Amino acid sequence: MDLFFLARRFVAGVDVESAIRVVRGLNENGLHATLDLLGENVRDRGQAERAVEAYATLLDRIATAGIDSDISVKLTQLGLDISEHFCEENMRRLLSRAAERRNFVWIDMEGSAYTQRTLDLFFHLFRTHPNVGVAIQAYLYRSEEDVRRLADVGARVRVCKGAYKEPKTIAYRRMRDIRRNFLRLAEILFERGSEPAIATHDEQLIEAVQRLARERGITPDRFEFQMLYGIRPRLQERLVRQGYRVRIYVPFGTHWFPYFYRRLRERKENVWFVLKNLFEWSRA
Ligand code: FDA
């Protein structure tokens, strides 16, 4: 039973060519992209190696297709659960291929069990590969300190709210606290960071970031907004019309369920949408 049709709103397709087609369409509307080959928590060496190979081929395909896209990876897809050394070797291979293709690799931030290891590996890689950036989650108390360290070395940071279920001993739970911390992180990155990415669909936060940028004299070419494929497309296009750089995170591949589940959890309307589609499908 193929339930991919349920995820179609958030996932560009199961294969590379569908994803390339989607990115081409986004590029035609003035949007940049970051392609994510879905997969996480891989515990089999062969599977992690196949993911590296698929990403390397994707970097080549981005170049030959002439589309405007970088890539986003998850370290647990590239073997972090198997061994840190193995994951580092895999990342080095990818970063070298990306450098040959003059491209850039974002590291997504996963659940808090991986935060420290992700950042340790990031700092290590960044010394030799400046074409790598990392996501930071505004809901974590530790993030201000992490962002300061990242800004100190001139690394590119993608600030997002955070998509995993974390305990209140380590993470803010109230939206107004998460927003306040998000803005604080953006402020640090505007003061000392390098081309930060502001990853949110929250209009209140976007307006606050725009205000902050204006107050600090940060012109729109010095940062970018990032949003997820399928979420608030009109807002994405409006920001482009206003002269901002906007990059869309475009996931694709057969391992779509965990990503899809996080999108459902974020909004209960999505669950109703899925239930309605399932009901219609079962009657068809
Ligand atoms: P919020 O959830 O408050 O949403 C604001 C508005 O956006 C909503 O009112 C609604 O209109 C729309 N919206 C948001 N989510 C929606 C959904 N699922 N379905 C439909 N509408 C929705 N997280 C993480 O932990 N690690 C990471 O590496 C990343 N990477 C990442 C990259 C990019 C480019 C983005 C945009 C986001 C991430 N995230 C992430 C996810 C992020 O942490 C967060 O979970 C989502 O962006 C939702 O939070 P918002 O800031 O959009 O606000």
Which of 164, 231, 245 should be mutated for ligand 1, with most atoms under 8 A from CB?
231
* Structural Rg of the chain based on CA atoms: 18
196-215 residue pLDDT tens: 999 999 999 999 999 999 99
Tell me the three state secondary structure of residue 14.
coil
Residue matched to tokens 């995170």: 249
Catalytically annotated residues: 108, 158
Specify the CATH number of the domain 4-283.
3.20.20.220
Q: Which long-range contacts (CB under 8 A, 24 or more apart) does 262-271 make?
A: 262/163, 262/164, 263/10, 263/228, 263/231, 266/163
- Asked whether the predicted pLDDT for residue 166 surpasses 90, the reply is yes
55-73 residue pLDDT tens: 999 999 999 999 999 999 9
Q: How far apart are CA 47 and CA 274, in angstroms?
A: 30
The closest residue, in CA terms, to atom 22 on ligand 1 is 231
Read off the tokens for 280: 């219609």
Confidence band for 4, pLDDT divided at 50, 70 and 90: confident
Tell me the three state secondary structure of residue 33.
strand
Which of 201, 209, 224 should be mutated for ligand 1, with most atoms under 8 A from CB?
201
146-162 residue pLDDT tens: 999 999 999 999 999 99
DSSP 51: H
Residue matched to tokens 């659960």: 81
- Asked whether the predicted pLDDT for residue 1 surpasses 70, the reply is no
Confidence band for 113, pLDDT divided at 50, 70 and 90: very high
Residues with CB under 6 A from ligand 1: 108-109, 135, 137, 160-164, 199-202, 226-228, 231-232, 249, 263, 266-267, 270
Domain boundaries, the chain: 4-283
Atom of ligand 1 nearest to the CA of 205: 51
